[in-house]
């Protein structure tokens, strides 16, 4: 079997800004498996926060081409690469290839129910309060995710969005930018402003401080949660975990992480980086086991892959087989 790897750049509609910085394009890496008749594809989004670069991830995958040609399979891949973007692209390509060659869906092969229509959160980029409120009104979505910055304006941002869209449920994502004092100070007010979940308030390296905080809003681990090995520690600090295939290293570990989290009584949010529908389609298989779905990556792009997922407002329609799975 032949493995080919490509770097693609997809323009973002405007600028996507979080506490760590801003970008105007999504740089993704794709893995393509072919036996000359069938093709399986996967997409990942390398993330600098985890020490990844687009070129480095692509090089890691290209280095595996001889092993793939010699018979490396999805099971062996789990030990060959660590959790992260590179393993995600190839793991998802293996799932897609298996679906294409077997004539069965990836969901069926994974022992998961076929995905149905699901409502996704819609992310508002970090901006001034009035600008975020205007973006919320323009979006008109029932579940909004607000990127926050820990700069003293976060409560104003949430209040502005809640005032503009009082019927929308809110998730706030600090991307590690808060302190314990900020969480203690702002948590009660945010509970009164329709916030249903606070995502990664503290830096991952400092989140042990959450053990002494009784938050009025449920807390979700994102940067702190990569694989099921993280769960015993996180279960003492958070009520929810964010499952992203680019962190877990693909659908295989994402399924294991989701099941293990549920077994521990943790809630689950299925999330994503900013990528195309090819990256969202495998994650959609986990939506049925999630409390929150945040798979809006293509909605943030100026254009998406064709064919892609079908977004009708905030509702995602399941992928067709010619996209993935």
Q: What is the CATH number of the domain that holds 300?
A: 3.20.20.120
Quick one: 208 and 154 in the same domain? yes
**Same domain for 131 and 90?**
no
69 & 146 share domain: no
Of 103, 129, 146, which residue sits at a domain end?
A: 103
- In a shared domain, residues 158 and 295: yes
Query: Do both 262 and 182 map to the same domain?
Result: yes
Considering the domain architecture, whether residues 29 and 176 belong to the same structural domain is answered as no
Per DSSP, the three-state class of 14 is: strand
Asked about 147 being catalytic, the answer comes back as: yes
Of 103, 135, 163, which residue constitutes the final position of a domain?
103
Instruction: With respect to residue 113, please indicate whether it lies within any of the assigned structural domains.
Output: no
Which of 184, 290, 200 is closest to 237 using CA atoms? 200
Domain membership flag for residue 257: yes
If asked whether residues 165 and 240 sit together in one domain, one would say yes
Residue pair 249/91 in contact by the 8 Å Cβ criterion: yes
| Number of compact structural domains in the chain | 2
Judge whether 19 and 176 are in contact, CB under 8 Å.
Answer: yes
For 234, other C-beta atoms within 10 Å of its C-beta total 21
The DSSP code for 281 is H
Domain containing 274: what range?
118-317
Tens digit of pLDDT at every position of the chain (325 positions): 999 999 999 999 999 999 888 899 999 999 999 999 999 999 999 999 999 999 999 999 999 999 999 999 999 999 999 999 999 999 999 999 999 999 999 999 999 999 999 999 999 999 999 999 999 999 999 999 999 999 999 999 999 999 999 999 999 999 999 999 999 999 999 999 999 999 999 999 999 999 989 999 999 999 999 999 999 999 999 999 999 999 999 999 999 999 999 999 999 999 999 999 999 999 999 999 999 999 999 999 999 999 999 999 999 998 777 999 9
Per the annotation, the verdict on 141 as an active-site residue is: no
Residue 299 domain-assigned (yes or no): yes
**Claim to verify: residue 91 and residue 193 sit in the same structural domain:** no
Candidate list 141, 145, 147, 247, residue with the active-site label: 147
Same domain, 189 and 289: yes
Q: Is residue 233 one of the residues assigned to a domain? A: yes
Tokens of 33: 């498996």
Same-domain check for residues 225 and 309? yes
Per the residue annotation, which of 100, 141, 145, 244 is the catalytic one?
244
End residue of a domain, out of 103, 126, 143: 103
């Amino acid at each position: 079997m032949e493995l080919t790897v490509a770097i693609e750049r997809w323009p973002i509609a405007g600028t996507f800004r979080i506490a760590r910085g801003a970008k105007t394009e999504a740089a993704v890496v794709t893995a393509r498996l072919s036996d000359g008749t069938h093709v399986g594809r996967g997409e990942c989004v390398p993330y600098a926060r985890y020490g990844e670069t687009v070129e480095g991830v692509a090089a890691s995958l290209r280095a595996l081409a001889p092993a793939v040609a010699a018979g490396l399979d999805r099971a062996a891949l789990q030990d060959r690469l660590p959790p992260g973007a590179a393993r995600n692209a190839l793991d998802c390509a293996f799932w897609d290839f298996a679906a294409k060659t077997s004539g069965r869906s990836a969901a069926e092969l994974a022992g998961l129910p076929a995905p149905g229509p699901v409502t996704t959160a819609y992310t508002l980029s970090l901006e001034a309060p009035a600008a975020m409120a205007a973006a919320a009104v323009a979006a008109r979505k029932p579940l909004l995710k607000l990127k926050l910055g820990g700069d003293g304006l976060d409560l104003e941002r949430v209040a502005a969005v809640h005032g503009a869209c009082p019927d929308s449920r809110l998730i706030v994502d600090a991307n590690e930018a808060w302190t314990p004092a900020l969480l203690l100070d702002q948590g009660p007010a945010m509970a009164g402003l329709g916030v249903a979940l606070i995502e990664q308030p503290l830096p991952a390296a400092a989140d042990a401080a959450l053990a002494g905080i009784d938050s009025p809003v449920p807390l979700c681990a994102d940067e702190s949660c990569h694989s099921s090995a993280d769960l015993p520690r996180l279960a003492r600090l958070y009520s929810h975990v964010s499952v992203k295939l680019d962190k877990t290293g693909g659908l295989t570990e994402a399924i294991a992480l989701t099941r293990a989290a549920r077994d521990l009584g943790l809630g689950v949010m299925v999330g994503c980086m900013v990528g195309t529908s090819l990256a969202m389609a495998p994650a959609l298989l986990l939506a049925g086991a999630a409390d929150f779905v945040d798979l809006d990556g293509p909605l943030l792009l100026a254009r998406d892959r064709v064919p892609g997922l079908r977004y009708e407002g905030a509702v995602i329609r399941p992928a067709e087989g010619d996209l993935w799975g």
